[in-house]
Each structure stands twice: as C-alpha cells, then as structure tokens.
Structure 1
Amino acid sequence: MTTAQDRPSGGQDSPVVLPVTAAVVRVTGGPFALEELSLDTRLRPDEILVRVVATGVCQTDVHVRDQHPPTPLPAVLGHEGAGVVMRAGAAVTTAAPGDHVVMSYQSCGRCRPCLSGFPTYCARSFPVNFGGSRPDGTNALRDGDGAEVHGHFFGQSSFATHSIATERNVVRVPDDLPLHLLAPLGCGFQTGAGAVLNSLRVPPGASLVVLGTGAVGLAAVMAARATGASPVIAVDIVPERLALAAELGATHTVNAKEEDIAARIAGITGGGADFVLEITGRPEMLTLAVNALAPLGTAAQIGGAPAGAHAEVNMNALLGGRTVRGIAQGDSIPRLFIPQLIALHRAGRFPFDRLIRAYGFEDINQAVADTCDGSVVKPVLRIGG
C-alpha cells in the first residue's frame, strides 16, 4: 500500500529513485567501497526514510564482512545509524519529517519473545537483522547496472547517505545533541550498559568483572559506576584500554597478559565475584567467568563466539546457585532505554563521548582497521551534515 506522499508522479508502480552513496562489500573480506546506488523510496506503511548523518562502526560489521555470520553479498552494512527523518510511512506515529533519530536492531514484533517484551530474543532475529532484505525478501537498493545490492541490515544498512528503517527500530532523540555522538547508542553502548542495568540489574555494592574493555565493556564499566557497584574489575590486554577503564569507573584493572586473572579476581573480591560479563567471545574466558563466581553469582556472555565454539563448565560449580546466561543487546527496548542513556549522559554519569573518534565517510576502511587493531574504541563515520 502506498500513500499520496509515497506515490511517484510516473504512476503507482514505478519506483521513486533516490541516488545514494553507500559503502558496499562485494566479496568476503573485501574492502568497503563507496558506490553510487539507487534507493527505491516507496515506503511500506511502517517504514521511515532517514537521511543518515553518522553511523558507528561495530565489530559485527567486520565479522559480517568476513561472512561470520553470513549475510548475502554484495551488501551495505552498518547498524548504528543516526540521522534526520525525511519521510514516514502511512502507519508511523512516533516519528515525523525533521525528527532526529537513532536506529537500532530489528525485530519482528509478532513472535512470543517480542510480544512478551523481549524483542532482543526475537524468534526471527537472524533473518530480520542479517538476511540482507526485508522480511518478505524484497530489497530497496540497486547498483548502476540495475543489479540488486543487499540492504536492510539490522533494518537500516546505515553505511549510506540514506536509509530505510522501520518504526520498530527508530528512536526519536533530542535535537540539541550531536548525532555523531548518539549513533553508537543503537548497538554497542546499549549492549554493555543494558547488560548491567537491564539484564543483571547489578545493585550497589555488588562486585562486577568485565572481561574485555572495548566499546561494550567500557559501556558496562560506566553503567556499573552509575549503579554504585564495587569493586568493578576490568580485564584486558591493552594497557591504554585498562587506563581508560580506570578513569571511567573501574576500581581495579587486570592485564591478562601479565597477571593470573583468576587469582587477582579472587584476591580483590575475597573469593568470587557476584557478576562476570564475558565480552571477548573466547571459550576459555567463559570458563574462567564461571569459575570466578561467588556462590549465587551470575556469569553472562555478551560477545559472539565463533560458530560451533564450546566452553567447558564445571557442572558442580553450578550447584552453588551459580547462573550462566547469554545477553543480546543488553535486553534493551531501544525506544525506552536509549533516552535513559541520554539522560545519564546529560547528568555526567555515562560519558560515552570519551570513547568516540570521528572519521569521514571516505575513511571507512581506516576506521575498520582501527577497530580491528584496537587503537580506537568506537569509530563513528560522519556521513552527512
């Protein structure tokens, strides 16, 4: 169904083509190449056309570039977009042209987890986020030869000057804050902070260990400081990251290359931690996380592991009331949680701006390289004005 504002002047069935510049990955492990594409802007009733101003670069974009997990190629990735609404479909009620928005993950809205208030565990999470098309298999992007380029990655494909998202994954944000700072709230920052604030509900005085201090881990550290957790122990192999973690709220840091992690955690906590977040995706670190727990403690895996990875768990340790669980997107409902993070930021309690380095859109491959070598915590591409 199209509305009068969506209907092209050439007739209802002819596309309204918008020229866009997008970073396209055409082969496994290949570069992100800026190409001129066309975007069919006939919006479905629940869709929103966004002029992208900025987008974060996440490790997930790199993993998908390398086809772990696979998304059909050629594709436009990017899933931490922020921009300005250009047009909204007929059924959209929460965003209007001119609104500043952040785009987040996609969910179907109809399965049992979605209807139960847990859209991060949507039964269709993989196809609607990684499928490379709308749920019905259609796609809005074409290249100069008219060939399809897979889009709708995480319901947005924000490595582009324009994006078609949906009402479910668009969050209106205040227009007095720079969009290039707000963009990473849609994935990495909400994942780390949400693990502490939503999933585990870490109380004041509880001990927390964060294994891995990238964007997700440092967001968790900042959220832990905001809750009054103590001690907060950050573990990594990069001294600069550990120093930053200490500035942002970690009461203790552990260099995994130089110290016995388990012994240090036991010594700091007096025997075991109440909560351990495993963000590295390495099986041996999940084993360590479980072994580092105090009775009744919880170990949570956030980082995605390689396909088929298995971690050893001491089954008898679980008899001490210990819990092991996974967390996706910090159990966040973006429309509710992202405004909470912005409020914490305004109050000086979630200074995520300290993690960001801005890049020009044309420097996307440098931003990706800096992500991979750990020299930058959170690269953000400035795409539009």
Structure 2
Amino acid sequence: MQQQSRSEGEFSAYRFQTIEQTLQTFQWFASMRSNQPVVYDPQSRLWQVFRYEDVNQVVTDYSHFSSESIPGFSENSFLNGTVVATDPPDHRKLRNLVNQAFTPRAVNHLSGRVTEIAQELINVALPTGRMDVVADIAFPFPARVIAQLLGVPDEDWDVFRRWVSEEENTGQPVTLGTVIQSRQSMEAHRYAFFSRLLKERRTASRDDLISSLSVAEIDGERLSERELISFCILLLAAGQETTKNLIANALYLFTEYPAVAEQLRQEPELMPNAIEEILRFLPPVWFTMRRTTSEVELSGQKIPANAIVLAWNASANRDPAQFPDPDHFNIQREPNRHLTFGHGIHFCIGAPLARLEARIVLPMLLAQLKNIKRVPDVPINVRTGIVYVIQSLPITFN
C-alpha cells in the first residue's frame, strides 16, 4: 500500500475508497508499528505515530501535545476555541459546560425518547424486508436524538440531513480548498440557526439543553454567544457523526460475522462489551492531531517543538502489545482499553451519548431483523479522513 506518502491536503480532506481497500490500511499499521513507529513524512510535514503507548501519550499529555494552533483542526474551523481545541486553563471552563450537558441524569433522561425514535425508524423498514442501514437508520437516528437533546423541533431535523449531505458531497474525491469552502458555508448556516434558537430560548425558556446553556454560568461568568453556539455545533458534529459511523460499522461487522450477531440475539447482555469491541476493531474515528509544545521523544525518536503530530488511534487499537490477537473480532474481550474516543481531558464529548444510543438501537435491530444479509454485488464505499464513514450499506432481512 502507498499509505506513507500523503499530502497535507489528503489528511485534511476526504478520500473515497472501497471498504476492501480501506481495510488494507490495517496491514500498513502493523508494518509501521514494527518498523517505523514514529516517522516524519516530509511531503505532508506531519509526524505520524502508530504504537498504543505512544498514541496514548500524545492524546493524554496536553502539556507536551497541544490541541491549539493546528492547521485545519483548531485553526480555520468552527473548532477554534471549543473544548476539543483548547488547553488548560481555558479547557476547564468549557469542559465544565460539557459536563452539564452529559451528566448521567441528562443522558439517561433521553433513554425513553431514544427508544421511540429507533422504533419509529425500524417500523418504516420492517414491512419491506430491506433497508440502507446508513440512510434509513444510522444517519437519521442520532440526528433526531441530538435534535431532542438540544431542543430543536423534530420537524427541523432535516436541516441536519442537508448539512451532512452537502459535506459528504457526491462520493468523489475533493480538494482541501473545496472542503474548506464547503465547511465555511455550512458553519455560517449552522451559526445562524443556533443563534436564532438561543435568542428564542432567552425570551421563552424550555426544558432543553439550549435553554440551559442560555443561562449557564461557568466559574462565575457567562459564556459568550459564540462559545455557546460553537458548543452546539460541536455537539451536533460529535454526537451525530460518531454514532452514525458506530451503527453502520456494527451492522457491517454483524453481516461479516453472523455467528456473533446470533450470539448477541441469544445473549443481549453482551452488547455493551460488543460495542466496545466494535469501537476498537473498526473505529469511527481513526486519528488525532496535536502540536508539540517542546521537543519530545517517542519510541526513541525525537520530535521537535511546534511539530504537528498525527496519532493513529486506529493503529493503536490493533497493537498486539496492548490487545492479544488484535485482528480477531472478540466481543468478550477484557480488558478493552481502546483509544477510539481518545483519553484524558479530551476524551470524546459525544462518547456517552453514542454508547447510550448504540446500547438501545443495536439490540432492537438484531431482535427485529432476522437473517440480516448485505445486498450482493453492491460495493461498499467508504469516506476516510479523521472519521471512517461507510457511505451506504444496503441489507435484506426477514
């Protein structure tokens, strides 16, 4: 595979491949972990990191690996100034806001409505005996849940569909310039949308997250309108995209391993562990970007200050030093300290909601859809970048 030489634009923009081509990347990861676990690519000007121990240090040690001033990540994007793109002490104030949104009470309070939304979507497909997992379940399900959490009217969830369909384009390769222009347009629409909702809630509060945010105080001070709206946009992106990819990846693996799907039907109590193994084995998030604050050393390799580091979470998840028999899909794997959601202070803000949604919808799908099979002779195309996105997954069932 010619994975080693990628331009900086290719890491920032999207790439479209068949799933078979993409899964070959795991072979490259294994080679790099053994031969070049920390390597500088002069073409992309990125330091790439592959082993679990090193990736864990990059995503956890914020004193040496900063989330700020990273081109295409914490610069020139809506992420600038958000919780995922700031370091302490600013990070603490914003993380406290996240904690307000994702308290156990706030997340569990959604369980009933999450179940209703899942059943409504399943009911549409049940009589037909077929569905596109992505279009019919994986995309609309988390979009509607996020709408419920934020207090966006259900009828407005199609706004989210338009934003995502614009971002995913037509499935053809795109340039970094095209991506930036498209994102800037979407971000302007998103900002205006949430600005309107925030203004409405300040005059007529409701029992939703936007109303709570409108009066939130962190460390004795109110957050600015920009901080609040950026958080809403981040929550939309993190909560929707992560769950969408997790559900699609799960159904792909269930069709690849039908015995596992049947085991989960018979032993639904294994589902929480199965979700963690899905996240490890075929993660929705593949890498993390950081900037070194000083010279650091990883696996005997010195990385200079102000270098941009790309840490491959997906490679760390297959490191045999951490996971025995890492290429085996084992839903009873214990322990399973995968790095799909990161670690430390920047642990993924959408993780609690993604896990809740998966624990609800996946058992429902397995219980109600029997003999699930992929439609034959239909290639599965994947969009890769920081996230791993199955574009379409048509299935049949009884």
Note whether the superposition's TM-score is higher than 0.5: no
TM-score normalised over the length of structure 2? 0.25
Structure number with higher helix proportion: 2
Higher relative contact order (CA 8 A, sep 6+): 2
Structure number with higher strand proportion: 1
TM-score normalised over the length of structure 1? 0.25
